[in-house]
Amino acid sequence: MNHRGMNTIVGLAGSLVLLVGLAQVVFAEEYHVSVEGNDSHDGTAAKPFKTISIAAKVAQPGDTITVHEGTYRERIVPPRGGESDSKRIVYQAAAGEKVVIKGSEVVKGWEKVQNDTWKVTLPNSFFGAFNPYNDVIKGDWFDPRGRVHHTGAVYLNGHWLIEAAKLEDALAPVGQASPGIAGGEDYLLNVAWIKPELTGRVAADSFTAQQGIQTADCSEGGKCIGWINHGDWVRYDKVNFGPGAEQVEIRAASVTEGGIIEIHLNSTDGPLLGTCSVAHTGDWQSWSSFRAMIKFTSGVHNLCLVFKARQSGPMVTDSAQWFAQTDAANTTIWAQFTGVNPNDAEVEINVRRTVFYPDKPFVNFLTIRGFTMLHAATPWAPPTAEQPGLIGTHWSKGWIIENNDIRYSTCVGVALGKYGDQYDNTSQNSAEGYVETINRGLKNGWNKETIGHHIVRNNQISNCEQAGVVGSLGAVFSTITNNEIHDIHIRRLFSGAEMAGIKIHAAIDTEIRGNHIYRTCRGIWLDWMAQGTRVTGNLLHDNGPAEDLFVEVDHGPFVVDNNFLLSGTSLLDMSEGGAFVHNLFAGRIRPVPELGRETPFHKPHSTEVAGLKNIRGGDHRYVNNIFAGEGLAAYDKAAQPMYMTGNIFLKGAKPSVHENEPLVMAEFDPVVRLVKEDKGILLSVKLDGAFWKQTTPFVTTDLLGKTRVSGLDFRRPDDSILEIDTDYLGKKRNRSNPSAGPLEESAAGELRIKIR
């Protein structure tokens, strides 16, 4: 065959490929859905479907489902995904139209009982196969705080009521019952672990805990308790003190507001030997040391430690409550409606577990945009179990969740998490259990080619009682950007170890950028395997009682840059191998080593585990930050080398001994505050001309070096060189001497900048 003939065949083949591609474009369908439609229609604009679920059943890769204005009460279970990033299935609200999807149903037929309490009785058939009012919240790392919680909820005019602990509370006048906390004002989970270190101690021969208190082996030997609440006690028998012993050191972790530990001789009624004040430490595994003077000096004694809570109570501003009972045939709900006849108002109840969630893994390449999604009876979502959310990816790849309003989920708003299996919630709250979860995940497709790569952007996420965004293993290689996340876990009717605005396990090569997070119990929590992670350009404020950012048992490298961390505690650091660059820290910084758990580090840009190691602490880089809280002195005794340079310390903040030529202005108060105006949020901050005389390096991969445990340098997910070359607002940095803090500025005096 001559070259002309060969070229002709090649040309024909190329034309055929082009025609096939054009055919794919031509034959891609757009299906329409309208509340005025009919599911027997063909889904065209002229004859739309009535439900999104029917459109989901017919849509194929490359198709678009456009939903028109109205309220849709259904759970969308997408049966299939797209084939690639360019051949997705798109679910979208019609441009300029408000589309609301709810996991609730309106309920009428309420009967007045007494006071402002009404009741309704529904046949269990009303709920179908899933009844949220006998679905109890439970699972690994969940603490019910002494009572039962259900995934159901009752809403009056769009806002949810509180589940009562008992029927009597729902029958009482509004505001006269406790807001669902068992035991009334005295019950408050405060201390997670407690272990006495006794000066001059020879041995503690035995250990006794009050019945009902969980016991566990301490990571550093000896015994400790698992949970202790107001009035609970723990006794150490035959404690042998050496000569001159005058102190007891208590190692404890307080998840809320702390309290007082009383040290008695022999029993709870024995002589008081001393007291120890325990402060809030931020997390149930964040051990800190607290000392108490004791009255005796030596000998063998029995010690009884009694915990007295410092009462702060849950952050509950609502007072109306509901309570439900189910039997074999019916579900009865009692609810308080202050001055309202519920039959004349919009009263809704949860009936669906999720709003948008596949019932199987590997439903890939979906786009969900522009919806208001409300009212989901979501379960507790620990890292060791399947993680459904109001909307969730269910162990898939390549979703885009954008421009949605996601609110009122009993536990989780957006879930980028794990699949489920027979091992769900069987890990007994242990690090070893989660390591096995990781090993099983690797066998079940946890790799760069199969899982993650999600985009969660420009969403409003609020009113979730566990997390706004959660993801165990499934959020790898993803971006979570420009979301507004607020009012997360503000009721605190239950507790546990999974609550935050954003809570990610294994944020490998994940970017968390440009989010506004406020009024949460904790802003961002990177728990295990934050490697290649970047937290950049976020605004966090009014988060507590914990902190804006918690990095837990991560070996790095991870980068935290150009953030405003304005809450009372900016950072809880139980990690190593991080780079904190160009941030403004307005609150406390708390480094806490974690020697008791060996956690994974990975091969570069991979889920493949390279090894396990505990957290000694240190091996951080603090470069070009502004501190207006406590500063870095807490790192003076870090176990591994620290690199600190270009930092500014204000308002009494103190540098570490590791610091290279810090600028310290102890009397200068930057008066950092946020000003809300119609045009957005303004940052008001007072600056001094001396700031710009500070010598600061331009931050690059070469400057930051390699982490000690993983042996990796700080690079972008595509393995290119990292340069912190822009500020919070996207302004280019001065490469010869960039400004410290998130803003590239050279002005002095009060500065007001629109930051949201």
pLDDT band at 7; cut points 50, 70, 90: very low
By the 8 A CB rule, do 656 and 633 touch?
A: yes
pLDDT in tens, 567-598: 989 999 999 999 999 999 999 999 988 888 89
Q: 216 is written with which tokens?
A: 């566990």
pLDDT band at 289; cut points 50, 70, 90: low
Q: 343 is written with which tokens?
A: 């039959």
By the 8 A CB rule, do 646 and 623 touch?
A: yes
The SS3 call for residue 677 is: strand
pLDDT band at 271; cut points 50, 70, 90: confident
Average pLDDT score over residue span 332-351: 96
Q: 447 is written with which tokens?
A: 């790799």
Which range is least confidently modeled, 420-429, 438-447, 507-516?
420-429
pLDDT in tens, 669-685: 999 888 888 888 898 99
Q: Where are the beta strands (DSSP E) in 49-149?
A: 64-67, 70-73, 89-93, 99-102, 104-106, 111-114, 117-123, 142-143
Average pLDDT score over residue span 546-552: 93
Distances (CA, A) of 84 to 87, 151, 476, 511, 688: 5, 35, 18, 21, 52
Average pLDDT score over residue span 439-454: 97
Q: Give residue 259's pLDDT.
A: 67
Which range is least confidently modeled, 253-262, 459-468, 506-515, 632-641?
253-262
The SS3 call for residue 261 is: strand
| Residues in the chain, total | 756
Neighbours of 544 (CB within 10 A): 18
Domains belonging to the chain, first-starting first, are: 29-102 (3.30.1910), 104-184+314-350 (2.60.40.1180), 189-309 (2.60.120.260)
Query: 255 pairs with which residues across the strands?
Result: none
Pick from 517, 486, 506, 519: which is nearest to 552 by CA?
A: 506
Pick from 470, 450, 454: which is nearest to 388 by CA?
A: 470
Q: What is the mean pLDDT of the chain?
A: 87
**What distance lies between CA 452 and its chain's CA centroid?**
17
Average pLDDT score over residue span 428-441: 91
pLDDT in tens, 188-237: 344 555 666 655 554 555 666 665 555 554 444 445 565 566 667 777 77
Q: Give residue 245's pLDDT.
A: 55
Average pLDDT score over residue span 88-104: 98
Q: Give residue 220's pLDDT.
A: 46
pTM here is 0.83
pLDDT exceeds cutoff 80 at 465: yes
Quote the CA–CA distance of 217 and 697 in Å, as a whole number. 46
By the 8 A CB rule, do 702 and 723 touch?
A: no
**What distance lies between CA 343 and its chain's CA centroid?**
37
Q: At residue 745, what is the residue type?
A: E
**11 phi and psi, to 5 degrees?**
-65, -40
Question: What is the percent of the chain where pLDDT is above 90?
Answer: 67
Quote the CA–CA distance of 670 and 686 in Å, as a whole number. 4
Cβ burial of 1 (10 Å; 0-12, 13-18, 19+) is: exposed
Neighbours of 49 (CB within 10 A): 25
Q: 437 is written with which tokens?
A: 């979860």
pLDDT in tens, 108-138: 999 999 999 999 999 999 999 999 999 999 9
Q: At residue 192, what is the residue type?
A: A
Q: Give residue 185's pLDDT.
A: 34
Query: 31 pairs with which residues across the strands?
Result: 65
Q: What is the DSSP letter of 722?
A: P
pLDDT band at 256; cut points 50, 70, 90: low
Q: Give residue 20's pLDDT.
A: 47
pLDDT in tens, 612-665: 999 999 999 999 999 998 899 999 999 999 999 999 999 999 999 999 899 999
Q: Give residue 193's pLDDT.
A: 57
Q: Give residue 250's pLDDT.
A: 72
Quote the CA–CA distance of 221 and 197 in Å, as a whole number. 11
Q: 752 is written with which tokens?
A: 């007001």
Which range is least confidently modeled, 390-394, 410-414, 599-603, 743-747?
743-747
pLDDT in tens, 59-69: 999 999 999 99
pLDDT exceeds cutoff 80 at 139: yes
Quote the CA–CA distance of 268 and 187 in Å, as a whole number. 18
Give every CB contact of residue 274 below 8 A, 6+ residues apart in sequence: 248, 263, 292, 293, 294, 295
Cβ density class 21-40: b for 16+ within 10 Å, e for less: eeeeeeeeeebbbbeebeee
Q: Give residue 313's pLDDT.
A: 41
Pick from 593, 661, 646: which is nearest to 286 by CA?
A: 593
Angle ∠(502,505,507) on CA atoms, nearest 5: 80
Locate tokens 């001497």: which residue?
A: 737
Quote the CA–CA distance of 198 and 201 in Å, as a whole number. 5
By the 8 A CB rule, do 239 and 204 touch?
A: yes
pLDDT exceeds cutoff 70 at 318: no
Distances (CA, A) of 486 to 289, 431, 483: 32, 29, 10
By the 8 A CB rule, do 512 and 456 touch?
A: no
**443 phi and psi, to 5 degrees?**
-75, -15
Comparison of pLDDT for 3 and 174, the residue scoring more: 174
Q: Give residue 490's pLDDT.
A: 87
Cβ burial of 684 (10 Å; 0-12, 13-18, 19+) is: middle
By the 8 A CB rule, do 574 and 555 touch?
A: no
Q: 618 is written with which tokens?
A: 């240190």
Quote the CA–CA distance of 483 and 486 in Å, as a whole number. 10
